[in-house]
Amino acid sequence: MIFRESETVELKEIVVDDIKKEIVAFANSAGGVLYIGVADDGSIAGVENPDGTTQQIVNMVRDSIKPDITMFLHYETREIEGKQVIAVEVQRGTERPYYLAKKGLRPEGVFVRQGTSSVPATDTVIRRMIKETDGDSFEDMRSLQQDLTFEATAREFSGRKVAFGLAQMKTLGILNTDGIYTNLGLLLSEQCAHTVKAAAFEGTDQSVFRDRREFSGSLLQQLNDVYDFIDMRNQTRATFEKLRRIDERDNPEVAVREALLNSLVHRDYSFSASTLVSVYTDRIEFTTIGGLPTGVSLDDIMLGLSVCRNPKLANVFYRLELIEAYGTGMRKIMKSYENSGKEPVIETTDNAFKIVLPNRNEGVVRQEAENELEEKVLEAVQKHGAVMRKDVEEASGLGQTAAGRLLKKMSEKGLLIQRGQGKNTSYTLPD
């Protein structure tokens, strides 16, 4: 491999303070690669401690360059001519201009790439970069990744009998006028970097996990996968009104659907944090990064006001008939809980939005289930004379922690008598 400096290549034999300037210039221009361990003439000097050197660069970048540029850097150690060389790949950033924190947003702190050199940007160039960044929405920005695939999105469009070709991609905003994929395209592609973290817990807090998953890929694929995750845990309770059987899910399906759609369509994708879905025995929580848009209150949202943070993404969901009409989601959620005695809770902060869907059957179902478990334990005690925790685990199917809680509660209620301590603890019927 022949190394030669160019508009997108910079060579450094060792780590020097100037590499910060080179990284800033690449990020403000078309990106590039900085090689550490390669002399200016292209000869390979190598790096003795690649891991330590990489960490040194990471620390320099994190502390010295503003805004945060770390997500646009990729570090790789390569063996060339038997020596270790560090390649720092720098992508064109989405929050230009980047600058040296000590110098500020001035020509002496902002650099761009010209030929083989990194030079101070002029005031005109800095103003143009600020205008380009501040004036563009996330959806419209050019995606940093252009090798995108749309298998899941194509399936959704095909299933709805809606065309999905180059013309439609441009109309929807997946491709810009230059044929470059936008961030909207990235969100709908298999390469989408944003994820949903879903977890199911035993009980009403996060002390014991039952299951946890992280869903990735196209937002449309995440929508289906996360809904299935919730649906598997959304139990159905059957009651009878004379001869008529009435089935009722713990959480109304329409509420789950609308809350999930809201968390995907309206989140702030300029942040990398994952959307969180937490399933407890008494509720489901949907926590989304990004608070309400400026000037919009929660009361406005509840009245049906729709101020969409991602209008083009919302339009895609509308085209696919996943969204029936703008501004109706919250009212649908509230209506689905009418006459249930319970009501969803909406919480907002400057940077987050949470929807809490209560379990309509919680309380009734819990008591019924608890009574059944107690009966199983009492039957085991009557049969064997005494039981230990492991016996209760086998009889009830509960885990270690849950079985211990059940035995403690039955002892407190006077249904059982605890005898012994530690591993030898057993439980018998009252004398």
As a whole number, mean pLDDT of residues 345-355 equals 89
Q: What's the DSSP call for residue 37?
A: S
φ, ψ (nearest 5 deg) of residue 249: -70, 150
Q: What is the CATH T-level fold of the domain 9-135, as seen in this structure?
A: 3.30.950
pTM for the structure as a whole: 0.57
Lowest mean pLDDT: which of 62-66, 275-279, 352-356? 62-66
> Where do the structural domains in the chain lie, given as residue ranges?
9-135, 196-308+316-358, 364-428
Residue whose C-alpha is closest to residue 111's, from 217, 224, 211, 32: 32
As a whole number, mean pLDDT of residues 93-114 equals 88
φ, ψ (nearest 5 deg) of residue 426: -135, 170
φ, ψ (nearest 5 deg) of residue 81: 55, 35
Is 87 in contact with 38 (CB distance < 8 Å)?
no
Q: What's the pLDDT tens digit per position in 245-270?
A: 556 788 999 999 999 999 999 899 98
User: Whole-angstrom Cα distance, residue 235 to residue 230?
Assistant: 10
CATH annotation of 196-308+316-358: 3.30.565.60
Q: Give the contacts of 267 (CB within 8 A, at least 6 positions apart).
A: 275, 288, 289, 290, 309, 310, 353
pLDDT score at 389? 87
As a whole number, mean pLDDT of residues 38-53 equals 93
243 confidence band (pLDDT: 50, 70, 90)? low
pLDDT at 240 exceeding the cut of 60:
no
For every residue of 192-239, DSSP letters joined together read ----EEEEEESSSSSSSEEEEEEE-S-HHHHHHHHHHHHHHH--EEEE
Cα→Cα distances 19→36, 45, 52, 117, 315, Å: 9, 17, 16, 12, 43
CATH annotation of 364-428: 1.10.10.10
Averaged pLDDT score across all residues of the chain: 87
11's enclosing H/E stretch is: strand 9-12
pLDDT score at 173? 93
* Domain 196-308+316-358 and domain 364-428 have a common topology: no
As a whole number, mean pLDDT of residues 204-208 equals 87
pLDDT at 327 exceeding the cut of 70:
no
Q: Which segments within 52-104 are labelled E, that is strand?
A: 65-66, 73-80, 83-90, 99-100
First to last CA, the chain: 86
pLDDT score at 365? 46
pLDDT score at 364? 52
